[in-house]
Amino acid sequence: MNILGISAHYHDSAAALVIDGLPFGAVEEERLSRRKHDADFPVSAIEWCLDSAGLDPDALDAVVFYERSMLKFERILTCALRAFPRSWRAFPKAIKSSLGEKVWVRGIIASYLGVPAHKILFTEHHQSHAAAAFLTAPTRRAAILTADGVGEWATLTVGHGERQPGGSTSISLLREIRFPHSLGMLYSTFTAYLGFPVNEGEYKVMGLAAYGRPTMIDRVLRLIRRTRDGAFSLDLDYFDYHTTAKRSYSSRFVELFGPPRSPYEPIDLDTSEGQRFADCAASVQRVLEDTLLGLARTLHEETRLPDLCLGGGVALNGVANARILAESGFERVFVPPAPGDGGCALGAALYADRVYFGNPDRELPDHPFLGPSVDGADLARVAREDHQCVEELDDHALIERIADDLVAGRIVGWMDGAAELGPRALGHRSILAAPHERQMRDRLNRDVKSREEFRPFAPVTTVEAADRYFDLPPGGTRLARFMSGVFPVRPEWRARLAAITHVDGSARLQAVDREMAPRLYALLQAYGRRTGIPVLLNTSFNVAGEPIVNRAREGYTIFRRCGIDTLVAGSTVVTKGGSLPSKAS
Amino acid sequence: MPEACTTRLDRMLRPVHRWIWQDDRRRVRKLLRFAQVERDGGRDILRAAEVTPDPLLRRLYLAHAMDELHHSTLFEERGVALLRGLSPESRPCFETSGHGPGGHGLDDLCVERESDDALLAFLHVAEMSAAGRFAVYRDVVQHDPPTQAVFEAILRDEVFHMNYTYSQLARVSRRQRPRIWRARVVRLWKRWLRAATAVGGLIAEVGLTVLYFALLPPFAWLAKRAERREPPGWSPVPPARKDSLKSQY
C-alpha cells in the first residue's frame, strides 16, 4: 500500500511516502525550495518522494493531509467572532488567507496529483503529532502527550497507544486543551516579546534562559493558571494572538514585564536590561517545564505505563524533556526527530496505514535519515571547476583525514547519505568542530553561523562514551539519540569541553550508535583515539536565516562563503583554496 | 557598457523621495526594509550559483550574492544606528510575531525555473533599476552623510553587477537585446500583478470589513455566550471525530 502524507500551509510544509507500512522517504519543502520554514503546498517534496520511489500519483492508495482544514477554519472564524469588535482588522486577513487557499486542500491535492477525491484523507493535527511520536518509537505501549501552538482546536492532548507485533495498532487521544489556551502560544508570546521570530526563535529563548534567574515566575503565573481538573488556562487579557495576527502580547503584558526588546538590538547580558530579558526567558522556561511535568506526572499515574511519547513543537524543548524524563515517573521518553509540523506528514501517513486501513504493525527504522541523498561526485566536479583542492578517499582514509583536521582546529562541513527529517542536524548535514576551546564557539558564531553570542553549540558522542562526559539519568541515552534532551556536562569535563558547555553547565547532547550513523560513529572514535575524548561539536549545516543544506552544491556554496575549512560529501573531501572573481575583472 | 542612470520617473519623484528620506522614522523603516530585500535577493542569487551548470557564472553569482548580503548588513547597521538615535516614543514598532517564511525578494524570483540567459537579463535590469533609484536616494540624503556613504558604497558594487550581467549575457546568449527587453516586460508585468493583487486585496478587505460589522454582531453575541459556557481545562476528544478520516470537519 502506497500512502503519501502531506503537511502544509502553516510552517514547515513536508511530504512523506509510506510504502507497505515503512517510510520510504520524507522531506521538508524548505530543504528543496531553500526558503526557511516554507509553508507553501510542498510540490517539490511530493515530487521528490514520488520520483525517488518511481511511483506515479495513480499508484497512490491514499493521500493524507495532516489536519482538518475546515475544522481549523471553524476555529479561526469562531475566534474572530468571540473577539468582536476587536478582531475587525484581523478578520478580513484571516478570511482571505483561509478562503484563498487553505480550506480548499482536497481540491488542491486532487488537482495537483490527479487522484480521486475519495483517496484524500484528513487526520487531525494532534493525531498526526501523536502518530509521528508513537509509531516511530521502539515501544509497544506508551502514554502520549502532544503540545504545540495550535492545530485545529487542540493545543495539547494526552492519550495512549498500543501496537501488537504484526497486528493491530491503536492510538487513543483521551482529552485535549483547546485554543486559545496553549503552552506553545505562551512560549511563542515570550519569544516575540524577547524580539525573536515566532516559530523559529523559541530555541533562542531556551538558550537565553540559562543566563537568567527565574525571578519573574510569579508574574508568569498570572498569565497561566492550573485548573481544578489538572489542566491549565491562560488569562487572555495578557495576550493578543487570539484577536490579531500582528501581535502576540497585549499592553497589559507589557505593563507586567516592561518594554519588549527590539529585534534589532543585541542582548547585552552585562546590562540590567539584558539581564531582565534573560530572567524573563528563565521564568517562562521554568513555568513551561513545571506545567509539562505536572501533566506528564498525572498521565503517568493514570496510565501506569513506563514509556512516554512526546510530540508537537513544544517537544523540541530539550530542557523540559530532560526534566520529564528525570522527574515524571516515566522510565523512557521518546521524542521523534521531527516532532513539529514537518514530522506530521509522516505521522499522518503512518496513522492512515496502521489505524485507518488497519495494516499490521511493522518495526520502523530507528533513524531520521529519510531525505534526499548527497552526491559526492557532484561536489568533486563543481569544486574542481572552481580550482579547489579535491580528494577522493576511501572510508577509512577519509575518517582518519577528517579526524586529523578536527584535531588541528579546522571546521568541517559534513554531508553523509540521506538528509535528516526535522530541524536537527543529526550527523548527515552537520558542521563539526573540536569541542574543547571556548574560542571555537566564538569562531563558529562569528565566522560561520553569524548568530547571537549567547547561543550554545551541541555535542555529539557515542552512546558508549555519553555517560562518561554527561550526567545522564536512566533513559537519557535514548532521549539523546535525536538530540532531544539537555543534560549536565560532568563538572570535571566542563573545562575540556568548553565550546559545547552552556553557561549553566548543560549541553544538548546527541548520542549516536554505530547502526544509526556508522561514519559519524567511526569519526568520533578516530577523534577519540587522537584526543582521548570522543566528543565533537555538532551544529546544523546552515547559516543564519537559511534552511539546512540538502544537496552537495548547497553545502559547497556555504563552504565558499564562510569560515568552513574542509567540506565532506560522500567520499569527496574539499579543502579551501582559490578565490572569487575580482570586481576589477 | 551600461551606467547607473536615474529614470525620468525617479527624477520626477525626487521631491517625494526627499520628503520620505527626511523623516528619521521613515528612513529607519526604509533602510531596514532594504536590508530585508537585499538579503532575500542575495539568497536568490546564491540559489542561482547552486543551480547553474556554468562554472564562471557560478563564481560570479556567488560574488554577487555575497555583495548583496553585505549590502543587507550595511543597510541594517545604518538603520539600527538611526533607530538607536530615536527617542523611545518615536521608535517604530517592529513585530516579530507575524513572522513568515523567508521571502524571495520583491520580484518573487524563482531561480530554478529560469535559464541562465533569462536570469542574467533579469538581474541586469533589476540592478540597473536599483542603481538608478539608489543614486536618487544618495542625492536626497545629503543631510545624513553616513546613510549617503552607505548608498555610495552600494552603488559601486551595483556598477560591477550591471557590467558582469551585461557581459555574461553577451557570452551565453546571442540575443542579448531581446533578452533584456523581455526581462523589462516581465518585470513590468510582475509589478502590474503586484499592484493588481494589492488593489484586489484592498477591495476584498473593505468588503469583508463591511460584512464584519453588518452581519457578524448577532453571531458574535452567540459565540461569546457559548464561550462563557465552556468550562476551562480539559475537553474530551469527541469520538465521532476520531473515527473517520474522510471529513475535513
Query: At B246, which helix (H) or strand (E)?
Result: none
From A441's Cα to the closest Cα of chain B, the distance in A is 22
The mean per-residue pLDDT over the stretch A11-40 comes to 95
Interface predicted TM-score (ipTM) of this complex, two decimals: 0.88
CA distance B83 to A251: 22
CA distance A368 to A426: 8
- pLDDT at res. B230: 87
The mean per-residue pLDDT over the stretch A103-116 comes to 94
Maximum Cα–Cα distance for chain B, whole Å?
73
For A105, nearest residue in chain B (alpha carbons): B248
Which residues partner with A233 through β-bridges? A225
**Is there a contact between A247 and B247 if contact means CB atoms under 8 Å apart?**
no
Residue A337 three-state SS: coil
**Is there a contact between A580 and B232 if contact means CB atoms under 8 Å apart?**
no
Residues in A closer than 8 angstroms to B83, CB to CB, are: 262, 264
For A194, nearest residue in chain B (alpha carbons): B96
**Is there a contact between A71 and B248 if contact means CB atoms under 8 Å apart?**
yes
What residues of chain B score a pLDDT lower than 50?
Answer: 1-2, 97-106
Task: List the single residue in A91, A93, A192 with the smallest CB-CB distance to B97.
Answer: A192
From A259's Cα to the closest Cα of chain B, the distance in A is 10
CA distance A187 to A182: 9
- Outline where DSSP puts E strands in A239-378: 307-311, 332-334, 369-373
pLDDT score of A386 more than 60: yes
CA distance A386 to B240: 61
- pLDDT at res. A455: 87
Rg (CA), chain B: 24
**Touching check for B71 and chain A: CB below 8 Å?**
no
- pLDDT at res. A189: 96
Of the two residues A3 and B83, the one the predictor is more confident about is A3
Q: What cell was used for A506?
A: 548543560
Confidence band of A585 (pLDDT split at 50, 70, 90): very low
Q: In what order do the strands lie in the sheet with A572-575?
A: A389-392, A572-575, A566-569, A412-415, A429-433, A535-540, A458-462, A506-512, A485-488
Comparing C-alpha atoms, which of A129, A136, A3 is closest to residue A61? Answer: A3
CA distance B160 to B164: 6
Q: Which residue has the cell 477525491?
A: A117
Residues in B closer than 8 angstroms to A583, CB to CB, are: 63, 157, 160
From B61's Cα to the closest Cα of chain A, the distance in A is 10
Q: Output the average pLDDT for chain A.
A: 94
Eight-class DSSP state of A249: B
What pLDDT, in 10s, does the model give residues A234-279? 999 999 988 877 789 999 999 999 999 988 888 999 999 999 999 9
**Is there a contact between A248 and B249 if contact means CB atoms under 8 Å apart?**
no
- Domains of chain B plus CATH, in order, are 8-92+101-196 (1.20.1260.10)
Q: Which amino acid is at A401?
A: R
Q: Are strands A22-28 and A14-19 parallel, antiparallel or unpaired?
A: antiparallel
**Is there a contact between A68 and B233 if contact means CB atoms under 8 Å apart?**
no
Task: Give A255-290 as a 3 state SS string.
Answer: HHHCCCCCCCCCCCCCCHHHHHHHHHHHHHHHHHHH
**Touching check for A580 and chain B: CB below 8 Å?**
yes
- pLDDT at res. A450: 84
The mean per-residue pLDDT over the stretch A382-389 comes to 93
CA distance A533 to A529: 8
CA distance B145 to B147: 5
**Is there a contact between A553 and B234 if contact means CB atoms under 8 Å apart?**
no
What pLDDT, in 10s, does the model give residues A279-335? 999 999 999 999 999 999 999 999 999 999 999 999 999 999 999 999 999 999 999
Phi, psi of B172 (to 5 degrees): -90, -15
**Is there a contact between B246 and A122 if contact means CB atoms under 8 Å apart?**
yes
Q: What cell was used for A494?
A: 566542563
Comparing C-alpha atoms, which of B174, B130, B180 is closest to residue B155? Answer: B130
A&B contacts, CB < 8 Å: 198
- pLDDT at res. B240: 62
From A70's Cα to the closest Cα of chain B, the distance in A is 5
Rg (CA), chain A: 23
Q: What cell was used for A540?
A: 546544523
The mean per-residue pLDDT over the stretch A483-507 comes to 97
CA distance A499 to B237: 46
Q: Which residues contact A284 (CB under 8 A, 6 or more apart)?
A: A186, A187, A190, A205, A209, A220
Helix extents (H) in chain B: 8-12, 14-22, 24-51, 55-85, 116-140, 145-172, 176-229, 239-243
Q: What cell was used for A152?
A: 485545529
What pLDDT, in 10s, does the model give residues A438-477? 999 999 998 999 888 888 999 999 999 999 999 999 999 9
What pLDDT, in 10s, does the model give residues B88-97? 777 766 655 4
Q: Which residue has the cell 508537537?
A: A312
Eight-class DSSP state of A352: I
**Is there a contact between A177 and B234 if contact means CB atoms under 8 Å apart?**
yes
From B43's Cα to the closest Cα of chain A, the distance in A is 8
Q: What cell was used for B170?
A: 553577451
Task: Give A186-215 as a 3 state SS string.
Answer: HHHHHHHHCCCCCCCCHHHHHHHHCCCCCC
- pLDDT at res. B11: 77
Query: At A45, which helix (H) or strand (E)?
Result: helix A43-53
- Domains of chain A plus CATH, in order, are 2-136+344-366 (3.30.420.40), 183-333 (3.30.420.40), 371-575 (3.90.870.20)
Cα distances from A278 to residues A137, A209, A281, B35, in angstroms, run: 35, 5, 5, 27
**Touching check for A41 and chain B: CB below 8 Å?**
no
Instruction: Tell me the torsion sign for CA atoms A208, A212, A213, A217.
Output: negative
- pLDDT at res. B100: 41
CA distance A527 to A399: 9
Whether the link from the prior residue into B88 is cis, omega within 30° of 0, is no
Residue from A81, A176, A557 whose CB has the most chain B CBs within 10 Å, to mutate = A81
Task: Give B207-237 as a 3 state SS string.
Answer: HHHHHHHHHHHHHHHHHHHHHHHCCCCCEEC
**Touching check for B235 and chain A: CB below 8 Å?**
yes
Residue from B237, B241, B247, B249 whose CB has the most chain A CBs within 10 Å, to mutate = B237
Question: Angle at the Cα of A331 (from A326 to A334), degrees rounded to 5?
Answer: 90
The mean per-residue pLDDT over the stretch A153-178 comes to 94
Task: List the single residue in A71, A227, A556 with the smallest CB-CB distance to B233.
Answer: A227
Residue from A359, A557, A579 whose CB has the most chain B CBs within 10 Å, to mutate = A557
Q: Which residues contact B187 (CB under 8 A, 6 or more apart)?
A: B107, B122, B125, B126, B129
Q: What cell was used for B52?
A: 547553474
How many C-beta neighbours within 10 Å does residue B70 have?
Answer: 15
How many alpha carbons lie under 13 Å from residue A454 in its C-beta half-sphere?
Answer: 21
For B77, nearest residue in chain A (alpha carbons): A264
CA distance A576 to B64: 19
pTM for the whole structure: 0.93
Which positions 305-324 of A are in contact with B (Cβ < 8 Å)? none
**Is there a contact between A546 and B236 if contact means CB atoms under 8 Å apart?**
no
**Is there a contact between A81 and B216 if contact means CB atoms under 8 Å apart?**
yes
**Is there a contact between A580 and B62 if contact means CB atoms under 8 Å apart?**
yes
pLDDT score of A185 more than 60: yes
Comparing C-alpha atoms, which of A155, A236, A340 is closest to residue B234? Answer: A155
